[in-house]
Amino acid sequence: MTDLTTRWLGLDLHSPLVVGASPLTDDLDALKACVDAGAGAVVMHSLFEEQLIAEQMAAHRFIDSRINTDAEARSFFPESEVFAMGSSSYLKRLEQLQSSLDVPVIASLNGISPGGWTQHARELEDAGASAIELNLYDLATDPSDTATTLEQRQLEVVGSVVEQVSIPVSIKLSPFYSALPAFVAGVEAAGARGLVLFNRFYQPTMDLDELELSREVVLSTSAELPVRLHAMAMLFNRTTLEMAASGGVHTGDDAAKAILSGATAVQVVSALLAEGPSALARITDEMNQRLTTMGYTSLIEARGALSLDNAPNAQTWERLNYARLLQGWQSSGRTS
Ligand SMILES: Cc1cc2nc3c(=O)[nH]c(=O)nc-3n(C[C@H](O)[C@H](O)[C@H](O)COP(=O)(O)O)c2cc1C
């Protein structure tokens, strides 16, 4: 058996598998079941930047009632009044989770503009959060907002959250940065401890019959994982920030791939919402079996083995290989 212990954000975890930010925050029994099934830590859903609360909560409540899953999966969803939580109920929930669960509880803030709201980070620390995950969920819609101004603003937010607290802060990013390593260097310089790669955007689709936009959360599939693997493989050993995968982890092989790319922790949400807490036990067993079969006795040995720095054929991660791949493509879907 592979030793699955890991250290994420300075916290000793018995497993790298972490319950990611989700409405499960609202369901203590489900979270206890996740911990019994092997979760190494739990991330709460986000507390949003004050000035966005009304709008974002309304959006989430709307989205949450339209989650695109079958009836069986839906039964695993807690009722979603949690998205209406203000900061005082959030703090109470944090205290409750912290005292009821045997694993670290990580609070989550979601915001993009520097300001007084970042002071809430201190309350989260006081209420017992083991760490803070800061989600920089940003959508540039104003043509005068350049990548530079947007990124500088985000780094200011990182700096002001970090300066409020003595607990570690991880930053959850979107996949859409033109120069991710440079931005990550800025996150590191601003004092963060870890990265969560990546956010998913919940994009509106179109209802052509009604000629309107319709928003719904479609749960992820494993197809969303490779963009995370690529980013982690590229960043491994090139940043001191620890990395957690978030997005597309549904099987033990998905989790093993995240570790081999350089992840210290692996967050899971969609699999839990679709399958229930037992998904964690299944993913843990599958991952353990896979890593053990590969000959790894610990996660530390496996971490980053297929990163850009370490993979035997690391050029596969790079552009040249992409060009060769496209040129060699045959209609069978295989390359020559
Ligand atoms: C219904 C739902 C609610 C979510 N709420 C939050 C949230 O409050 N804060 C956050 O940072 N991420 C939130 N997420 C995103 C997840 O934490 C995770 O990053 C994303 O679902 C990708 O992981 P997965 O493929 O395992 O689902 C939410 C996801 C879902 C499906």
Q: Which of 269, 270, 272, 275 to mutate to test the pocket of ligand 1 (most atoms within 8 A of CB)?
A: 269
What pLDDT shows up at residue 158? 97
Local confidence band at 313 (pLDDT 50, 70, 90 cut-offs): confident
Digit-coded pLDDT (tens) for 146-197: 999 999 999 999 999 999 999 999 999 999 999 999 999 999 999 999 999 9
Is the distance from CB of 289 to CB of 36 less than 8 angstroms?
A: no
Digit-coded pLDDT (tens) for 224-277: 999 999 999 999 999 999 999 999 999 999 999 999 999 999 999 999 999 999
What pLDDT shows up at residue 80? 43
* pLDDT reading at 84 higher than 50: no
What pLDDT shows up at residue 326? 78
What pLDDT shows up at residue 141? 84
Share of the chain above pLDDT 70, in %: 87
What pLDDT shows up at residue 335? 55
Local confidence band at 286 (pLDDT 50, 70, 90 cut-offs): very high
Local confidence band at 22 (pLDDT 50, 70, 90 cut-offs): very high
What pLDDT shows up at residue 334? 61
Task: For residue 235, give the nearest of 266, 200, 194, 201 by alpha carbon.
Answer: 194
Walk me through the domains of the chain, giving residue ranges and CATH numbers: 6-305 (3.20.20.70)
Q: Please tell me the distance from the alpha carbon of residue 268 to that of residue 251, in angstroms, as a whole number.
A: 10
Local confidence band at 209 (pLDDT 50, 70, 90 cut-offs): very high
Ligand 1, residue 45: give the atom nearest the CA.
8
> Mean pLDDT over residues 10-17, rounded?
98
- Angle subtended by helix axes 180-189 and 225-235, to nearest 10: 60
What pLDDT shows up at residue 83? 43
> Mean pLDDT over residues 112-116, rounded?
81
Local confidence band at 35 (pLDDT 50, 70, 90 cut-offs): very high
Q: Residues near ligand 1 with C-beta < 6 Å?
A: 20-23, 45-46, 64, 108, 110, 135, 172, 199-200, 217, 220, 224, 246-249, 268-270, 273
Mean pLDDT of the chain: 88
What pLDDT shows up at residue 138? 84
* pLDDT reading at 69 higher than 90: no
Residue identifier of the C-alpha nearest atom 16 of ligand 1: 21
Phi and psi at 42, nearest 5°, equal -130, 135
What pLDDT shows up at residue 298? 97
Local confidence band at 119 (pLDDT 50, 70, 90 cut-offs): confident
Q: Which of 18, 22, 268 to mutate to test the pocket of ligand 1 (most atoms within 8 A of CB)?
A: 22
What pLDDT shows up at residue 276? 97
Local confidence band at 74 (pLDDT 50, 70, 90 cut-offs): very low
Is the distance from CB of 32 to CB of 42 less than 8 angstroms?
A: no
Q: Which of 200, 257, 282 to mutate to test the pocket of ligand 1 (most atoms within 8 A of CB)?
A: 200
